[in-house]
Amino acid sequence: MHAVDIVAVCAAVVALVACAAVLARQRYLLRVVGAIPMAIRSGGDRWLYGIARYAGGELRWYRSLGLGTRPSRVLRRGELRVSTHRQPRPDELRSLPANAVIVDCRVGGTPVVFALGENAFTGFISWVEASSPTA
């Protein structure tokens, strides 16, 4: 074997292992109780796809592509205000499923738009409306 062949095989193995690690992370995140697929749009027209997970008074959002173990975004229930919800517009249907629910929110004064499935939306609204227990 030539040196170029060895380098090419090593690069292919590294790429394959990286793809497998990303897929394994996604499967793990989706199997955790309270995990839902969710897309976020902030400051533009581009949707970022990921997995959200309820953890107490927080909704932790992890990007789909990546190996990080920390959430990319954390939405705290006490700071979250839902403005409106709606069905996707025709221009959004290129990026989102037809049964998605688009939710316009404010988190500490910052506008955030996200999309999730109908069943996940029902759970999300219940989570937002749930009050924290007081001592």
pLDDT given at position 39: 93
Question: Helical H runs in the chain?
Answer: 3-31, 118-129
Phi/psi of residue 134, each to 5°?
A: -105, 145
pLDDT in tens, 20-42: 777 766 676 666 767 888 999 86
Fold of 3-129: PH-domain like (2.30.29)
Take residue 99 and report the two structure tokens written for it. 């049964």
The mean pLDDT value for 61-90 works out to 87
> Per-residue pLDDT averaged across 57-84, rounded?
86
